[in-house]
Chains A and B, each alone.
Chain A
Amino acid sequence: MTAPHVTLGEVLPERAVQNRLTNPGTENCSLCDPSVTLNVPLGAIGRVEKMGGASSRGENSYGLDITCKDMRNLRFALKQEGHSRRDIFDILFRYAFPLSHGLLLFAYLSQEKYEENGWSVYKPMEEFRRQGLPTDKWRITFINDNYELCDTYPTILVVPFKATEEDLRKVSTFRSRGRIPVLSWIHRENQAVICRCSQPLVGMSGKRNKDDERYLEVIREANGTAKLTIYDARPSVNAVANKATGGGYEGDDTYQNAELVFLDIHNIHVMRESLKKLKDIVYPNVEESHWLSSLESTHWLEHIKLVLSGAIQVADKISGGNSVVVHCSDGWDRTAQLTSLAMLMLDSHYRTLRGFQVLLEKEWISFGHKFASRIGHGDKNHADQDRSPIFVQFIDCVWQMTKQFPTAFEFNERLLMTILDHLFSCRFGTFLYNCESARDTNEVRSKTVSLWSLVNSDSTSYLNPFYTPESSRVLYPVASMRHLELWVTYYIRWNPRIRQQQQSPVEQRYMELLALRDEYLKKLEELQLTDSSPNSSHLSNSSASNAASPTQHINHLHTPF
């Protein structure tokens, strides 16, 4: 057995890896060494490549190159004698990309048990009822029960009361992939709604569809909005270009009582390239000279800004009592970002730990954000053009909001990191597949564990101690580059120079003070008790000094000056 040489300072005992891999009872590819342990979920691996050949010269020129989806690149140097990397490469390749090799995703093999069943977190009917639905203007329809109206939508939809099932079918012919405008969220007081859909099939000839026009009119009338605002998430140029492929946007002349606003958010390819550039400047080393210019040239934060400011506009319209319709091309990427962020701003329920899970289940998972295609779970085709970090970008936007409003969210940064880790890990069924119909076919709910089982069984570690519930308040983040910052603890967390703090010092201090308050309260109570019975005050004094002694002990270690 060889003890291959590794460039990153790790030593890779080959057998340990094989054990982990041939026995996928644990999902991690663990490369262990007495001093360095590297844990990489196989699901996070995006690409495995051999580097160098049997004849290549130079130190560390022969080995394996592993590109991860979570911003890491791992490079292992091996000895050239005896095809030392052949086995490990084959095994890694097979188990990192099980779907390409006719194997099951790890979520189907995992036997994990949790107290809580995360699959019960989101019940569409319950959620709509919480929002106050149905009303006299909005009804719940089961028309999509068998995914016949739209195969990428969930089964339960909320539509205008006035629209008949026949209307819905007609509208679906005019919307890309049948993704008709349906209600996502309704404002309790002013009854303004956020509807989401895909682009209208206008095409080069500028087709019109009376049913679609009437349908939007019905949405507008539902709460007496003067002018329905249609937010097209795309830059106008792209919306125009989409006409060539049969898509397009709602023209001013055809939709009389509507105004169309383009939000200038770019497509999945631009976002993919942007994150790739970001990775280049932070991994393996953080670029030192002209860091800020490099950061700007990735445009990552600029995209974040555009997404956030789009969502702010949606939220602002809604709180002003105007209903809105949001779409992009297909209504499952940018649309999901905008609606869910706007809902996060408008509805404090989504800022709780449970509520946020509901938001993700609803706007992202059930409405068919194509997780499988965007992430490429278990798929070896790393250059697939469908891959894009749209969901990562959304979580980044949420993180920016939690940064700006540190007391408004019940959950903490750890939850966001956990979500992103398991977005790739394939350990839970939550983010698998592109839409509900595919999840049904693959029996995700019965055969895999939900990520929320993990989270909710240990919810205290995902809570933000500073959380102060404030129900009636709309949260408007500031979408200025002055306030947006790179999420260092996520994107650069693999860099050894970034100090990984378990707890922020502010949080630590706060918890200390809370503990101290409790201790004092207790002591005070004791004192008040002993005060009523004299002669015992001596005793309470000694107990107080006892309590102080642990701190005293530590204190000696401080630096005297």
Chain B
Amino acid sequence: MIETFGIKLICSKNSCLSPVVCLVVSVSCRLCLVVSCRLCLSPVCLLSSVCLLLSVCLLSSVCLLSSVSVPSTGEVVFCSASTVLKYTQDDLSQRGVFGVLLCTNFRVSFVSDEAPTEEMGQLFKNKLYGENDIPLSCVDNIYGGSEDKRKLITGGLVKNKYPSKMIIHCKDLRVFQFSLSFSKEEDAKKIFQGIVHHCLEPKSLRCLFAFSYCENTSYPEAQRKKQTVMFDSVEDWTQDMKRTKGNCRVVSENSNFELSPKLPQYFIVPKNVSDEDLTKYQGKGLPMWCWSHHSGCALFKTASIPLVQEDNVPQTYMEKMLTAVAHNHLYSVKTEDLSDTLPTVQDILLSYNRFKQFFLIDNTTEFWMSDMKWFSSLDNCGWLDIIRQCLQKAVEVVESLEKENTNVLIMEEGGSDLCCVVSSLVQLMLDPYYRTLLGFQSLVQKEWVAGGHAFLDRSNHLHLKDKVESQSPVFLLFLECVWQLQQQHGPAFQFSETYLTVLSDSIHVPVFTTFLFNNDGHRDSLLRAESPHTQRSPLNCPTVWDWSVQFDCKAQDLFTNPLYTEKPKQDTSVRKSYRPRHLRQLSLPSSAFKTPPKKGFFKDEADNLKKILGVKRLSRWMLSPSSDSPQTSSSVREFYEAWQTKPLDYHGLLLPCLDGPSIRVWMQRYLRWIHDVQILGGGPVAMLSKVSEILGEVQELQRQLDRHGCTLTSNHKGARPRAKTAAAVIAARSSVRLSSSFPFVTSRNWSFKPAIPTSLLQSLMVTGMAGNLADREDDGGPESLV
């Protein structure tokens, strides 16, 4: 009853809803259950549904009140079942806790019957969902289990059947196991089918929680605008170009998406691109400015135009665009078709799907069984290799910009997947501004959100059958690459590993406009259409950068990296006089460094143009450059080695080491929920919290000094007065022990028994491979035991 009720409700358009029965149970000011239903339902149905709902409310309200975070206004409960057993994951003894399982328009939620354990863990609480909540779009796979078998549920269920055990794998790698065998049959069936329906079946974008959330939440808009640059105005783009001393042209002709809905509202192209050029091919082939190097050359990206054999027009257009890019600086350009040299979005998805399985642990025996083959499994799934390839490609582009001072145009079909990955990585490596927290957020806005990465299609939140192909964790791949950089050069980043992990989780929380749309045009039209005041401003939804929607200030302190020191401020006059010096410092061995010819020597420039553009570069572009990849890889190595011999400057150029041992697994993200691999009282956090502690002390001292009127310039490292970081606060409470999965899991419920790998014998390898060695005595030879 509830189930059909729920589905009809959620699938119908807002306008059709016209609620007849509107049951509002306000248990507290924070909890609000709104149930609306259509006219057509018979009175009997209504009655019973009301009864059911009431009972649900009565059953769960007490628990809900006490433990579940229900800040989410606009949330509707679809169905629920009581006496559901949630297995404690780290336990093979089939033990667990009983509680109520709910499915709402936002999440699947388990409310334990037991009194919630307070205090610890509350520090890093997500305000939108708790540890037993799964946002609907965060559900990855659902398995039905009976005794020892496990079956993947794909939707389209047989009515009246439900498994006794339900296993939910989440996109943030949590695993939930519920037993339905203690619940009433009717309830069990409904909750199972309800969850499967709402998590796996196709739905419309309007059904995503963001819309009901935003309609019911007034959000102060001003808060974020002054911080992260959103790149939704001419000013934002102009400012960024000025900051990098770029010399291109801001285009505002698309402000109403007249040129193409796929293009950003505003963007920047080379000076030599004419108005006429803008309108061709719906933006395909248009070189979009990404970033300017201090030498004057710049990085551009574009969606490639498929070349048709007979038709010469696109090719001529492309050549014209290339010339325009070349004109940007020194008449040189390099092109890189990423479709030829990097894995496809399908490759990325396949690899990630294999990779994530290693962390979705149903039981510890399996986990330890797989442990011995861990490295080769990791190798075979290819995920780390894809990360390496992206980083390598970015280094190649950096080399062109930094060493050769050549304009670079990267392209791929669509121009908004790997182009985004590579262009943002290049900027992270070259520009320390993007390694600050706000800078990074602005970078994501510029390259990904405004850049038109199809977040909605890539995540397939809507489970549309025709979009299955386009699903791919491209943005996550980017975050992985950033994590690698951050891992290798910790002090260069203002944001922490935790920040990246939380950001990767937020992709699956369907509240933020950041990740819900395919491009600017899509966002604009939907937010306008959904606006409650039809004629006025579009619906105001939070972006993911509004971190206070998810975390309070204390928790947000964990987003900053205590190792980061701000680049000291310098007044401009000093800076100017130092500029030549820094150029030299940044440049690589003098033999490789090409001094830019002085302006005004037209003849030289023309020669340059002929030589570079006419012969070398263009022909390379036509032939597609994949053939000479071994050469490029050795050149990248030389470039890295030359960089490596110089003293490391965290506010300068950063390059990743790409050697086998250097590309690693993002431990915090992937291992945080696996109990057996938590290092109690250890992990990097043990060290970092000590740094935070001292940092807090230093800041406190500084405040005291300030009070004494002592003028401390901000030149002092780490001296920006900030609140004592949360990690330090926790560490100070010595009774609490941090674990390697801090801050995501706290050690409160854990036994201090060590995890002892099981089934060691089975997995032993040596017997086959070195049989005779293994059988021998330790001390052979004459003195051996007789």
Query: Which residues does A use to contact B, with CB under 8 Å?
Result: 176-177, 235-238, 241-242, 245-247, 264, 266-270, 273, 286-288, 290-297, 299, 301-302, 305-306, 309, 312-313, 315-316, 328-330, 333, 370, 373, 385-386, 404-408, 466, 468, 470, 473-483, 485-486, 488, 492, 496-499, 505-506, 508-510, 512-514, 516-517, 520-521, 523-524, 527-528, 531, 537, 540-541, 544-545, 548, 551-552, 555-561
On whether the beta carbons of B786 and A305 are closer than 8 Å, the reply is no
CA distance A494 to B695 in the complex (A): 35
Given A306-B760, A476-B752, A477-B679, list of 13 further CB < 8 A pairs?
A245-B777, A286-B660, A316-B753, A386-B780, A404-B682, A405-B679, A407-B687, A481-B374, A482-B671, A499-B657, A541-B711, A544-B710, A559-B582
Known: A291-B379, A407-B686. Contact between A478 and B568, CB under 8 A? no
B567 at interface, CB cutoff 8 A? yes
Residues in B154-191 with C-beta less than 8 Å from chain A:
none
**A559: contacting residue among B432, B676, B698, CB under 8 A:** B432
Supply 7 A–B pairs (Cβ within 8 Å), ascending by A: A266-B774, A477-B679, A481-B375, A506-B687, A509-B718, A517-B701, A520-B705
Known contacts A408-B682, A559-B649, A561-B431; decide if A309 and B757 are in contact (CB<8 Å): yes
Q: How far is the CB of A277 from chain B (nearest CB, A)?
A: 10
- Whether A473 pairs with B681 at a CB distance below 8 angstroms is yes
Q: How far is the CA of A482 from the CA of B715 in the complex (A)?
A: 41
Establish whether residues B702 and A520, one from each chain, have CB atoms under 8 Å apart when the complex forms: yes
A482 / chain B contacts, CB cutoff of 8 Å: 371, 374, 665, 667, 671, 674, 677
Establish whether residues A560 and B575, one from each chain, have CB atoms under 8 Å apart when the complex forms. yes
- Complex CA gap A312/B778 in Å reads 23
B694-A499 in contact (CB<8A): no
In the complex where A520-B705, A521-B701, A548-B713 touch, is A560 in contact with B579 (Cβ < 8 A)?
yes
Question: Is B651 an interface residue, CB under 8 A from the partner?
Answer: yes
Q: A481, B371: Cβ atoms under 8 Å?
A: yes
Q: Cβ of B716 and Cβ of A516 under 8 Å apart? A: yes
Task: Flag whether B535 is at the interface (Cβ < 8 A).
Answer: no
State the CA gap A333–B778 with chains docked (Å): 9
Q: How far is the CB of A276 from chain B (nearest CB, A)?
A: 11
> Binary interface profile of B, 331-360, with partner A (CB < 8 Å = 1, else 0)?
000000000000000000000000000000
Residue contact A302 to B372, C-beta cutoff 8 Å: yes
Known: A473-B681, A559-B582. A544 touches B711 (CB 8 A): yes
A485-B375 Cα distance, complex, nearest whole Å: 10
Q: A386: which B residues are within 8 A, CB to CB?
A: 779-781
Out of A291, A492, A516, name the residue touching B698 (CB < 8 Å). Answer: A516
Nearest residue (CB) in B for A465 is: B690
Chain A residues within an 8 Å CB radius of B644: 497, 499
**Do B715 and A548 touch across chains, with their CB atoms under 8 A apart?**
yes
**Nearest A residue (CB) for B368:** A480
B: interface residue count bin: 35 or more
How far is B689's CA from A468's CA once the two chains are assembled, in angstroms? 12
Q: B373: which A residues are within 8 A, CB to CB?
A: 296
A95 to chain B, nearest CB (A): 27
Pair A555/B570 contact, Cβ less than 8 Å: yes
User: Which A residues touch B581, using CB under 8 A?
Assistant: 557
Task: List residues of chain B with CB within 8 A of the CB of A247.
Answer: 785
Cross-interface CB contact of A478 among B563, B677, B770, B786, cutoff 8 Å: B677
**Contact digits for B575-593, partner A, Cβ 8 Å, 1 yes 0 no:** 1001101100110000000
Chain A to chain B: the 8 pairs with minimum beta-carbon distance, closest first: A291-B660, A476-B754, A296-B375, A520-B701, A292-B379, A481-B374, A555-B568, A405-B682
Given A290-B379, A555-B568, A559-B652, A406:B686 Cβ within 8 A:
yes
Chain A residues with CB under 8 Å of B687's CB are 406-407, 466, 506, 510
Chain B residues within 8 Å of A385, by CB: 780-781
Q: A292-B375, A551-B568 are in contact. Are A556 and B574 (CB under 8 A)?
A: yes
Complex-state Cα separation, A298 to B781, whole angstroms: 26
CA distance A483 to B374 in the complex (A): 11
Does any Cβ of A come within 8 Å of B766's Cβ?
yes
Assess whether B437 is interfacial by the CB under 8 Å rule.
no
Residue of A nearest to B687 (CB): A406
Say if the beta carbon of B23 comes within 8 Å of chain A: no
Contacting residues, chain B, for A478 (C-beta < 8 A):
676-679, 755
Q: Which of chain B's residues have a CB closer than 8 A to the CB of A477?
A: 679, 682
* Closest B residue to A473 using CB positions: B681
Closest to A543 in B: B710
- B614 on the A face (CB < 8 A): no
Q: Is the CB of B661 within 8 A of A488?
A: yes
CA distance A400 to B708 in the complex (A): 47
| Complex contact B755–A480 (CB within 8 A) | yes
Does B433 lie at the interface of the complex (its beta carbon under 8 Å from any beta carbon of A)?
Answer: yes
When A478-B679, A492-B661 are in contact, do A556 and B570 touch as well, CB less than 8 Å? yes
Contact A238 B574 (CB under 8 A): no
Distance in angstroms between the alpha carbons of A299 and B371 in the assembled complex: 12
Is B688 among interface residues, defined by CB-CB distance under 8 A?
Answer: yes
Q: Which residue of B lies closest to A390 (CB)?
A: B778
B465 located at the interface, meaning its Cβ lies under 8 Å from any Cβ of chain A in the complex: no
Question: Which chain B positions have C-beta within 8 A of A523?
Answer: 705, 710
In angstroms, Cα B649 to Cα A497, docked, is 18
B733 at the binding interface (Cβ < 8 Å): no
Closest A residue to B648 by CB, please name it. A499
Contacts of B586 in A (CB 8 A): 559
Q: Which residues of the partner chain B approach A516 to less than 8 Å between Cβ atoms?
A: 698, 716-719
Tell me, rounded to whole Å, the shortest Cβ–Cβ distance linking B486 to chain A.
11
Are A316 and B708 within 8 A (Cβ)? no
Which chain A residues lie closer than 8 Å to B779 at the CB level?
Answer: 268, 329-330, 370, 373, 386
